[in-house]
Amino acid sequence: LLILSILFAAKFNYTSSIAEYSFEEIFSWQSITWMALFNFILFYSLAILYKNDTAKHMRFMIVTAVIMIGPSLSRIITAYFPISPESYIDYIQLYFKVSLVAVFLAIDIIKKKDWKPYLIILLAFIFSTFVYHARYSEAWLGFGRFVVNTFY
């Protein structure tokens, strides 16, 4: 249900904005949305895969909630702290999530727990941040064209 709602929100955002903005602008804005969807599917799938390993299952499920911190954090920052330009808000939420997972990884390493799930999660969040920085690249926009032609 969450996956469908993210897809519908992205589609609505695209169709309602295409008259005013270029495809490149709209899909570059949606880089965070699509990477959140990718990460959610990845982490939820890993949680289901490790349903019999409580520690790994718990870590992957916790991080499905961490993904949703981004939009909430953006709205809080926008409401209480006037930041210009607004693109800084994206950086804040992306790096906050990376930092939070890095702290979780450090805690697991210090406590000698199984740290591999948080390493996988951290690498996925770093990849998401990389995609955000490369959101105007031809590779990302090629993915965007595929998405628009297939799902929109």
Output the pLDDT for position 58. Answer: 95
Give the tokens for residue 6: 């993210």
Among all chains, which residue has been given the structure tokens 């880089």?
31
Q: Of 12, 27, 14, give the one whose Cα is nearest residue 131.
A: 27
pLDDT digits (tens, 9 = 90+) for 50-67: 999 999 999 999 999 999
Give the tokens for residue 51: 């349903």
Predicted TM-score (pTM) above 0.85: yes
Cα 59 from Cα 117, distance rounded (Å)? 7
pLDDT digits (tens, 9 = 90+) for 80-138: 877 766 668 888 889 999 999 999 999 999 999 999 999 999 999 999 999 999 999 99
Maximal C-alpha separation, the chain? 54
On the 0-12 / 13-18 / 19+ scale of CB atoms within 10 A, 103 is: exposed
